[in-house]
Structure 1
Amino acid sequence: MRKKLTFLFLLLLSSVVFLPLLIMMSSSFMGTSEIIKHYGAVLIGTGGSVQFSLIPEFPTLKAYLELLFDSPGFYVMFWNSCRQVFGILFGECLVSIPAAWAFGRFEFPGRKALFTLYMVLMIMPFQVTMVSNYLVLDKLAMMDTHWAIIMPGIFSTFPVFIMTKFFRSIPRSFIEAAKIDGAGEISIFLKIGLPLGLPGILSAMILGFLEYWNAMEQPLAFLKTKTLWPMSLYLPNITTEQLSVAFTASIVMMAPALMLFLWGQSYLEQGIEASGLKE
């Protein structure tokens, strides 16, 4: 009986989480007039009450066709997102992995203080560092370019925090055995550190993708030219006459993040577990 009650309670909680997703998916197959009929009281203030519907009365693919075949601006923003997000992730690999290896495997003066500084910077919200980032980017003539989004992301401290935990968990006996066999530091890093630390690297990259794929504040603050905007800023520019396209764009935008999350769920769990370990 207790297990059944627990199951029902968890099912109720999960339904609260998945209900908005189901509504968004079903609405993407509705026409604009049907969406207004059901949700106009909330979306455009038509008055009355909301009428939830998970099954479209007149299913249509018009919104998908309009978005995918008649919305060139959507593709421009899609490729902007790809360029910015993958540029950040590539840069994070070049910067964060060696930094995390150094924090995880070497003892040097000021290591704990520097790592503490990393953690302090990690918990600072974007609003705190926005002005300083703006001044630096303006000085480097990177404002209103893709680099205005990529450069601050490359030097994010969060990937270093996650990866350091994994590199530190590598048994020291592996390192000592490799040194006895004559392996140098670079060889140890490439042949032992990277393979054994791969779950941490993938965890940090997945979390980074999810964060920057949905970023809105950074593009709004650093990009003035709309042709440089990422896909996350496409939805706020859709008019009320294209409500069905808005739901469809939400589904299309969510799909890559959802597939990546499902693929890397085990790595994310390992990353969350490692981030909770004490020094």
Structure 2
Amino acid sequence: MKKYIPITLVSFLALIVWLPLWMLISGSLMPIDEIKTYFGPVLLGGSGFAKWPLIPAYPTMAPYIELLLDSPAFFAMFWNSIKIVVPILIGQVCFGMPAAWAFARFEFPCKKLLFTLYIALMLMPFQVTMVPNYLVLDKMNLLNTRGALIYPLVFSTFPVFIMYRFFKSIPEAMIEATKMDGAGHFRTFIHIGLPLGAAGIVSALVLGFLEYWNMIEQPLTFIQDKSLWPLSLYLPQIAVDQLSVSIVASVIMLIPALLVFLWGQNDLEAGIRAAGLKE
């Protein structure tokens, strides 16, 4: 009997975690009148208490049709997000991998000081660096462009920290063996570093996608032209009368993040474990 207690407890906690997602999916199938009925006390200032049924009383696909067929702004913002997030991730891989490999495998003056500086920059929230970033982007005439979001994040220090842990864990004997075979630094990085550090690269990509796909403060600060806004700023613009469309937009916005997470789940778990290790 005792062996079933942990299983029951874990199953109960899993249901609690998945409940908001189920509520989101069921809400996307509700007509606006039904949503107002359940959430009237909160949204419209009515009396009583708000409630949310597990299954819609009158399920409909009308909100999906309205969003996918009658909301061109949604698709424009969706592609804006793609055009922002993909270059950021590509840039982080191109610049982060060599930096992480250098910190992990080379010895050079002030190495520990520079790596400590990297860690300090990683710990700084956006609110701390917002004003300096704004001033620099203004001087470079990048404000109100996608580059205002892409260029600062391409040189983010967090991917370097994640990939550094995996490159550092490569046995020194393997590096020495490649040197004895006549391989230079570049071949060693390509044939040893990349295959053995692939989990760190994937985990950095997954974490980066989840963060930048949902970012709100940066585009609000650096982009005034609404035609350049990413999808994460679409939901705050929706009025109460379009709440059903807002829920559908939340579901569709969740799908890419969920697919990326499932794709890199194992590597992401390994990256989180590696990030928690001390030197």
1:196 maps to 196
Say whether 1:179 aligns with 2:169.
no
What letter is aligned with 1:30? M
Please give the per-residue CA displacement for 1:84-114, whole angstroms capped at 9, x wherever unaligned.
Answer: 0001001101110100000010011111111
Structure 1 Cα separation of the partners of residues 164 and 137 of structure 2? 28
Deviates more, 1:54-63 or 1:207-216: 54-63
Please give the per-residue CA displacement for 1:183-218, whole angstroms capped at 9, x wherever unaligned.
Answer: 111111111111111110000000000000000000
Structure 1 Cα separation of the partners of residues 238 and 74 of structure 2? 11
Please give the per-residue CA displacement for 1:145-193, whole angstroms capped at 9, x wherever unaligned.
Answer: 0000101110110000000000011111111111111111111111111
Q: Which portions of structure 1, spanning 4 or more consecutive aligned residues, are displaced by more than 4 angstroms? A: none
2:112 maps to 112
> Between the two proteins, what is the percent identity of the paired residues?
56
1:92 maps to 92
Consecutive unaligned residues in structure 2, runs of 5 or more: none
2:40 maps to 40
Please give the per-residue CA displacement for 1:12-63, whole angstroms capped at 9, x wherever unaligned.
Answer: 3222221111111001001000011112223343331122211111111111
What letter is aligned with 2:116? T
What letter is aligned with 1:100? A
Structure 1 Cα separation of the partners of residues 47 and 226 of structure 2? 34
2:262 maps to 262
1:143 maps to 143
2:29 maps to 29
Structure 2 Cα separation of the partners of residues 130 and 99 of structure 1? 24
Structure 2 Cα separation of the partners of residues 165 and 47 of structure 1? 55
Say whether 1:253 aligns with 2:253.
yes
Structure 2 Cα separation of the partners of residues 58 and 223 of structure 1? 40
Question: TM-score when scaled to structure 1?
Answer: 0.98
Structure 1 Cα separation of the partners of residues 46 and 225 of structure 2? 34
**How many matched pairs?**
279
What letter is aligned with 1:198? A
2:152 maps to 152
Per the TM alignment, residue 264 of structure 1 is displaced from its structure 2 partner at its CA by 1.1
Give the SS at the match of 2:20: helix
Deviates more, 1:252-261 or 1:43-52: 43-52
1:228 maps to 228
Structure 1 Cα separation of the partners of residues 9 and 67 of structure 2? 39
Consecutive unaligned residues in structure 1, runs of 5 or more: none
Residue 129 to residue 256, structure 1, CA distance change in 2 (3 Å): same
Structure 1 Cα separation of the partners of residues 30 and 232 of structure 2? 22
Say whether 1:50 aligns with 2:45.
no
